[in-house]
Amino acid sequence: MTPPANSNGQRPAIDPNNAAMLIIDHQSGLFQHVEDLNVSEARTNVTALAQVATLAKIPVITTASVPQRPNGPLIPELRQYAPHAKYVARKGEINAWDNPDLVAAIDATGRKTLIIAGLITSICVAFPSISAVHAGFTVFAVVDASGTYSKISEEFALARMVQAGVVPMDTAAVCAEIQRTWHREVALQFAEIYSAVWPVYHLLIESYQKAQDALRNHEQLDSERA
């Protein structure tokens, strides 16, 4: 059976060497609309995407919707953690794919797989994702690095995108599918990214190190002190 997603018969997974990342409208004002997940998590997650793209040398394109107006500026982490990102100013188009400069910038990367995150999911992610599938791209939508105004909106944006052949993913899965193996040089940097996305992972590392230090240093138990 052929999987119904837009992978042209390939395993429907991210090939980091053929992928570009598209980060859309992560602006301070639009973040205020996010109700389907924790605002702080959404911000942390899109920052992780920027970091992973840098680590894996994946081209990044950013864009914003009228940042001079109430939607506000892009969050500065994008530039900070993906300094190689190319910013494309739109001329008012809501669907980023309707902006020819943006499509040209994607084409210039030569990549045929897109990793897309954006605010608001049902608009800024769904519209260009569906457009890109229709234009022949393999598209992965990163839902918890995006966000929308209600749980219902999220559920139905998911359904619409999947119906159109977009592949849904979460941030950690994107990082892991790009990383592929712990048997590589930058494994530690990936671990740091997971520590931000998963606060529990950070705690695990701290516990692990203390458990080994306690043994290594022959620490006396507090409860066994005189």
CA distance 73 to 68: 7
Does 87 bind a second copy (CB under 8 A)? Our answer is no
**Comparing C-alpha atoms, which of 117, 115, 170 is closest to residue 147?**
117
- Neighbour count for residue 87 (Cβ, 10 Å): 14
Does 23 bind a second copy (CB under 8 A)? Our answer is no
From 15-23, 54-62, 100-108, 140-148, give the range in contact with a second copy by CB under 8 A. Answer: 140-148
Contacting residue, 108, 134, 186, 189, with a second copy by CB under 8 A = 134
Binding mask 156-175 for a second copy (x = CB under 8 A): xxxxx-xxxx-xxxx-xx--
Does 38 bind a second copy (CB under 8 A)? Our answer is yes
Q: How many CA atoms lie within 13 A of 85 on its CB side?
A: 28
CB-based contact 148:173 (threshold 8 Å)? no
Does 100 bind a second copy (CB under 8 A)? Our answer is no
Q: Residue 130: is the preceding peptide bond cis (ω within 30°)?
A: no
Catalytic residue among 21, 56, 96, 124: 124
From 53-61, 79-87, 106-114, 202-210, give the range in contact with a second copy by CB under 8 A. Answer: 202-210
Contacting residue, 19, 21, 24, 36, with a second copy by CB under 8 A = 36
Tell me whether residue 43 or residue 111 sits nearer to a second copy (CB atom): 43
Does 108 bind a second copy (CB under 8 A)? Our answer is no
Please list, residue by residue across 126-164, b when 16 or more beta carbons sit within 10 angstroms of its beta carbon and e when fewer do: bbbbbbbbeeebbbbbbbbbbbbbeeebbeebbeebeeb
Active site residue 175: no
Does 64 bind a second copy (CB under 8 A)? Our answer is yes
Query: In this structure, what is the dihedral angle of CA atoms 176, 185, 18, 20, given to the nearest 10 degrees?
Result: 70
Does 120 bind a second copy (CB under 8 A)? Our answer is yes
Does 17 bind a second copy (CB under 8 A)? Our answer is no
- Neighbour count for residue 226 (Cβ, 10 Å): 3
Does 72 bind a second copy (CB under 8 A)? Our answer is yes
Tell me whether residue 28 or residue 109 sits nearer to a second copy (CB atom): 28
Residues classed as catalytic: 124
